[in-house]
Amino acid sequence: MTLGVIIGNRDFFPDKLVGECRADLLEAFQKAGVKPIMLDESTTKLGGVETFQEAQKCAELFRKHADEIMGILVVLPNFGDEKGIAETLKWARLDVPVLVQAYPDDLNRLDVARRRDAWCGKISVCNNFYQFGIKYSLTTKHVVHPSDPSFHTDLLNFMATCRVVKGLRNVRIGAIGARPGGFNTVRYSEKILQRNGISVVTVDLSQILGNANKLTAADQSVKDRLDAIKAYTPTGRTPDDKLVQIAKLDVVLNEFMTEHSLDATAIQCWTSLQQNYGCNVCTSMSIMSENMLPSACEVDVTGTLSMYAMQLASGSPSALVDWNNNYADDENKCVLFHCGNWAKSFLPDIEISTAPILGTTVGEENTYGALAGRTPASPLTFGRISTDDPKGIIKAYVGEGALTDDALNTFGNRAVAQIDNLQGLMQYVCRNGFEHHVVMNASKTAGILKEAMENYMGWEVYSHQS
């Protein structure tokens, strides 16, 4: 990841601290995988930013690399000049996340030659950012050396925040088919999403199914997709003709995503696909999600948006699940479930199967393509993004817990979640009108999501605590 770097300086503090800082940063960047864009040591005094003229030079450098820079790191080896740093960001006009770091003083080196006063300088810089209307993030420790392990974690988390912010501001989601008539819960506002940079591309399901029906088992594209499906998962007792149907639909869905440069999809499955085409689309959705192109069922557009945000934060696939069942009488455990569209990462025992519940109304023979599998114990981040039309806002909740290996004798895609104060969370979900769908990710990234969505996107975010 490319980050812009501003090294603050102030004339009545030792300049040599700026030079030492560059060496510290380069080592930290190499460890974290950062490509820095910062002033050369010959362009300004040791490459630092102090005066308005130096701020202009740094801003010009950042503008030249605007397409690359995903975030900006402000570093204070000494008190720093708060005006110069704020002016740099004002004139650069990048509107990307900003992380503020400040060096600690050595208690045995508080003489004129070595004192930094960056503890105080960081407060002044943040005060200026607040006045300028610049949004910014903070390190876990108020002052921290770049070699400190906590700064390495802060830097990685900041990079993840940058990914989430950039992704959410540019994401393109395909809404394939109409919302199922019985699912008011997945209503959403395209206009509110668009105002936040999130584009929705719609298509009638009949167009997708019509194009799929034009294909045959002899078409090379269908053969290729069939091979890919068989390589992805065991097919169980799925008949060959059903596998061909699944492959044909997969071809058309991939073509639609490529044509419209989509990052994610939400697909009408319940129950038009089964009644009008004769199979489930879960296998295709699982493959897409595993390949970091998240796909949600029941045209849950803000559900797939939630999946996308979580994969940006963690770098791993997400899954759309139902808050589905209590787990016996354990108030902090529940069952997560869906017919069968979770990414392969969640399903070590993956197999193509049917959807028995859906099959009771449409015929189980029309539900091949759903996946069966149990998710084992892992870390858990959960959350949900939703458009709140009465308020005219985007809101979300996030939290962390664990997936467990507790016994669970059922079918479909299934998991057991353990979450502290789960009853309080359910109270919040119900009282604030959130959907029955939630998203899970095998990570601990709730803090990253909250920082990105609340601080930089300006959304209303509830962070669930124990």
Q: Tell me: the pLDDT tens digits for 256-306?
A: 999 999 999 999 988 999 999 999 999 999 999 999 999 999 999 999 999
Task: Write down the pLDDT at residue 378.
Answer: 98
Higher per-residue pLDDT: 46 or 220 = 220
179 and 148 co-located in one domain: no
- 356 has pLDDT over 80: yes
Burial class, 45, CB count within 10 angstroms (exposed 0-12 / middle 13-18 / buried 19+): middle
Q: Which long-range contacts (CB under 8 A, 24 or more apart) does 199-204 make?
A: 199/171, 199/172, 199/173, 200/172, 200/173, 200/174, 200/175, 200/301, 201/172, 201/173, 201/174, 201/175, 201/260, 201/262, 202/174, 202/175, 203/174, 203/175, 203/176, 203/177, 203/256, 204/177, 204/178
Task: Write down the pLDDT at residue 109.
Answer: 85
288 and 401 co-located in one domain: yes
Residue that terminates a domain, selected from 167, 187, 220: 167
288 and 356 co-located in one domain: yes
Mean of the per-residue pLDDT values of the chain? 97
84 and 206 co-located in one domain: no
The band of 235, judged by pLDDT with boundaries at 50, 70 and 90, is: very high
293 and 259 co-located in one domain: yes
160 and 247 co-located in one domain: no
137 and 190 co-located in one domain: no
Residue that terminates a domain, selected from 148, 167, 186: 167
Please count the structural domains in the chain.
2
- 44 pairs with which residues across the strands? none
Q: Are 50 and 6 in contact (CB under 8 A)?
A: no
159 and 179 co-located in one domain: no
Higher per-residue pLDDT: 115 or 264 = 264
- 114 has pLDDT over 90: no
- 174 has pLDDT over 90: yes
The band of 16, judged by pLDDT with boundaries at 50, 70 and 90, is: confident
The band of 48, judged by pLDDT with boundaries at 50, 70 and 90, is: very high
74 and 218 co-located in one domain: no
198 and 241 co-located in one domain: yes
- What strands, in cross-sheet order, belong to the sheet with 98-102? 35-37, 2-7, 69-76, 98-102, 137-138
Query: Chain-centre distance of CA 127, in angstroms?
Result: 29
Task: Write down the pLDDT at residue 12.
Answer: 75
Residue that terminates a domain, selected from 139, 167, 195: 167
CATH number (domain holding residue 210):
3.40.275.10
163 and 188 co-located in one domain: no
Task: Write down the pLDDT at residue 357.
Answer: 93
Query: Chain-centre distance of CA 43, in angstroms?
Result: 37
Full domain range(s) for residue 202: 172-463
The band of 365, judged by pLDDT with boundaries at 50, 70 and 90, is: very high
Task: Write down the pLDDT at residue 263.
Answer: 98
Task: Write down the pLDDT at residue 213.
Answer: 98
Of 80, 152, 179, 185, nearest to 123 by C-alpha is 80
- 149 has pLDDT over 80: yes
Task: Write down the pLDDT at residue 195.
Answer: 97
How many secondary structure helices (H) and strands (E) does the chain include?
15, 18
Query: What is the percent of the chain where pLDDT is above 70?
Result: 100
Query: Please, what's the b/e burial string for 215-230 (b: 16 or more CB within 10 A of its CB; e: otherwise)?
Result: beeeeeebeebbeebe
CATH number (domain holding residue 102):
3.40.50.10940
